[in-house]
Amino acid sequence: MYEGLTSVGAVRRLWSGETELYRQHLLRLDAESRRNRFGGAVSDEFIQRYAEPAALDGAVIYGFFVDGVLRGAAELRPLARAGEAEAALSVEREWQSRGVGTALLERVLLVARNRQIKHLHMICLAENRRVQQLARKFDAELTFQSGSVVADVIAARPTPVSLMRELVADSADLAIAMLDVPSQLAKRLDHTKRPPESPQPDHERLMLQSMATRRRFLKTTGAATLALASPHATGEAEAQTARLQTERVNLTINGRLYAIDLDPRTTVLDVLREHLALTGSKKGCDQGQCGACTVIVNGQRINSCLALAVMHDGDEITTIEGLADEGVLHPMQAAFVRHDGLQCGYCTPGQICSAVALLSEHRDGWPSYVTADVETAPALTNAEIAERMSGNICRCSAYPNIVAAIREVAEEDRR
């Protein structure tokens, strides 16, 4: 099952009392591997807390051992929702790209299947191609969420054969674990004979602590951290959040008034998606470059990912959810459908909001970069439309159909 690995190591389950092996493995991860495992920079202190026995209660961990040393691990944690769990992988650098992740994930999937876990989630950074490729091996569906990639694997139903496979494998794992005990004891005795290491300089300790502040960590990892962080660490993050100053912000969104207490650093996009569950506006680049987050504020289009909510106190905001009138599509929405101005649809809400505002700007006589005579009302040519929509990127390249949809609505407005 794990060709190429059986001659150098063994994949087995970690049993109660072996959490120290897991902790030492996580501490050996280099900076990049730690970032990929936890979704952000973490310190040794955080790992010490994370790998406490109480924090790992309920988790099932499989490891890849070489000469009794844990070199890779896969962690399975059930989620609060029935039938769902989350998996996380960590492999030390010298053992990466050697099939260790595949072997570990196969064991985790077997356990998930036999525990009637239908949906297994894996969350990684968008640049972590290795985990994404691994997830695809198991037919995972990948989705982009807030700078991370969520891989969902659908586990098969348990069968007598799958239950027997796990029972036989666990029995073999227990036997291997018993054989590992003497070598582990020898390593611990050898470690106690070594001279004590020099204490870590204060500046390095403080730097690591600052890199792993719980608020920054939770912001960068999102749902993965909330599912995997220890109770102690989560309580620390909640305490820090409770001490933050908030501001009351009044926003009229799609004709409805909202009064929300917000962290002053919260963007309009995060208010819409995270606080009000208006998820039509998409978070694409989160840098104001792709236009997927475009909304209309007081009649003008903005990139909501760059706009702080406190700066728009009292403003009127229209999102893609507010364009339709009692179930009847806005003319621009209907035109996009007729002209097939979309493929994957991720950028479409921003494209449509931008197009609606574009027509208002044109009616008001606003020129663009390609307008030849700024003293007269410009004709809405294809070149004008393309320039005015240049802030909205369509990676599926549906641009000709998008331009056709906008021209149709513009012509109808002139009639």
- Output b/e per residue, 217-237; b: 16+ Cβ within 10 A: bbbbbbbbbebbbbeebbebb
Q: Residues in the chain with pLDDT < 70?
A: 1-7, 144-149, 170-244
pLDDT of residue 256: 94
Neighbours of 340 (CB within 10 A): 13
Residue 402 token pair: 């998008």
Largest CA distance in the chain: 90
Cα–Cα distance measured from residue 413 to residue 330, given in angstroms and rounded to the nearest whole number: 13
220-266 pLDDT, tens digit each: 444 343 334 444 444 554 554 455 688 899 999 999 999 999 999 99
All domains in the chain, ordered by first residue: 10-195+206-211 (3.40.630.30), 245-278+297-320 (3.10.20.30), 323-415 (1.10.150.120)
Q: How far apart are CA 239 and CA 172, in angstroms?
A: 44
Helices (H), 10-99: 19-28, 31-38, 44-50
pLDDT at 153: 75
The angle subtended at Cα 292 by Cα 290 and Cα 297, nearest 5°, is: 110
pLDDT of residue 395: 93
3-state secondary structure of 373: coil
Q: Output the pLDDT for position 74.
A: 93
Predicted pLDDT at 295:
97
What is the C-alpha separation between 29 and 292, in angstroms, rounded? 36
- One-letter amino acid of 160: P
What pTM, to 2 d.p., does this model score? Answer: 0.46
Residue 268, pLDDT score? 96
The predicted structure's pLDDT at residue 116: 84
> How high is the pLDDT of residue 171?
67
